[in-house]
Amino acid sequence: MQKVLEDYIRMCYDGFLQGWHERNGGNLTYRMKEDEVADCAPLFTQHRHMDLPVTLPALAGEYFITTGSGRYMRNVPLAPEKNIGIIKIDADGAGYKILWGLEDGAKPTSELPSHLMNHVSRMEATGGRCRVVYHAHPANITALSYTIEPDARTLSRILWQSETECAVVFPEGVGILDWMIPGGTDIAIETSKLVKDYPAVVWAFHGIFGTGADFDETFGLVHTIEKAAEIYLKAKGAGIVRTISDEQLRILADAFGVKINERFLD
Ligand code: 2HA
Ligand code: ZN
């Protein structure tokens, strides 16, 4: 199998093993590189056309690997051709063709608008580095969203204080969107505004969107955020008597050569 598909499938199943993908929860999209498209070209035997609910000229001609709507991450390694697929965005950015996979009439993930609009925002924010958008339902970060107001400064400070390396992994912080109906264009627009500033955005009472240049970076980001949330909730349950200070966060950022978001420090 093509290496890019192997790596993609591994990430789907890794998320399942973490317990982040109950039932059909979560979805993953990857913007393919030219050589990966060439590797996969022999697979492109279908031309099912679909319209997008939004027009995204910035993605014209791009190829994406996507999970299927209603499909389970748990089943991706067993039958990739049924559970994931490759799509190509039309030249006008208003629709796409399914070129491979998503067999038996499957469609791309219900969160495709959020994924594609996040790709546009993160491509701009990272000078084209970002290729991965990942949505998962990890229990701890979702639980944490019940304990705070939906405010990025509050959330980011909690996470930075809950594991020393967090400020190095996501010095910009993490955004948070208050509860909205998932699966549509409205939540996609609001999320794509937040990912201009943050590599990850929590959906309150739902889960998280993480982005990155490759599968390792993206999975690692969500894993780090989820671990920090777990530590916070454990520490909060036991009773927090002290935490990492803002002075220590600044020293840490200096030592690792990252630019910590000063707006979130006192
Ligand atoms: O079912 O996670 O947000 C897929 C989802 C929708
Ligand atoms: Zn979801």
Q: What does the pLDDT look like over 239-254, one tens digit per residue?
A: 999 999 999 999 999 9
Closest ligand 1 atom to residue 136 Cα is 2
pTM: 0.98
Tell me the pLDDT tens digit for each residue of 64-106. 999 999 999 999 999 999 999 999 999 999 999 999 999 999 9
Tell me the pLDDT tens digit for each residue of 133-161. 999 999 999 999 999 999 999 999 999 99
Torsional sign, CA 20, 24, 25, 26 = positive
What single-letter amino acid sits at 135? H
Tell me the chain's radius of gyration from C-alpha atoms.
Answer: 19
CATH, domain range 111-266: 3.40.225.10
Instruction: Give the chain's end-to-end CA distance (angstroms, integer).
Output: 51
The preferred substitution site among 27, 206, 208 for testing ligand 1, maximizing ligand atoms within 8 Å of CB, is 27
SS3 assignment, position 258: coil
Tokens of 108: 């791309």
Indicate the class that CATH gives domain 1-109. Answer: alpha beta
Cα of 27 vs centre of ligand 1, distance in Å, is 7
User: What pLDDT is attached to residue 136?
Assistant: 98
> At residue 72, what are phi and psi to the nearest 5 degrees?
-100, 130
Cα of 52 vs centre of ligand 2, distance in Å, is 19
- As a whole number of angstroms, the distance between CA 241 and CA 77 comes to 45
Tell me the pLDDT tens digit for each residue of 102-119. 999 999 999 999 999 999
Q: Give residues (CB < 6 A) around ligand 1.
A: 24-27, 110-111, 135, 182-183
Q: Which residues are catalytic?
A: 111
Looking at all shown ligands, the one closest to residue 112's CA atom is 1
184 Cα distance to chain centroid: 16
Give ranges for CATH 3.40.225.10 in the chain: 1-109, 111-266
Residue 246, judged by CB atoms within 10 A of its CB (0-12, 13-18, 19+), counts as middle
Nearest CA to ligand 1 atom 1: 25
Share of the chain above pLDDT 90, in %: 100
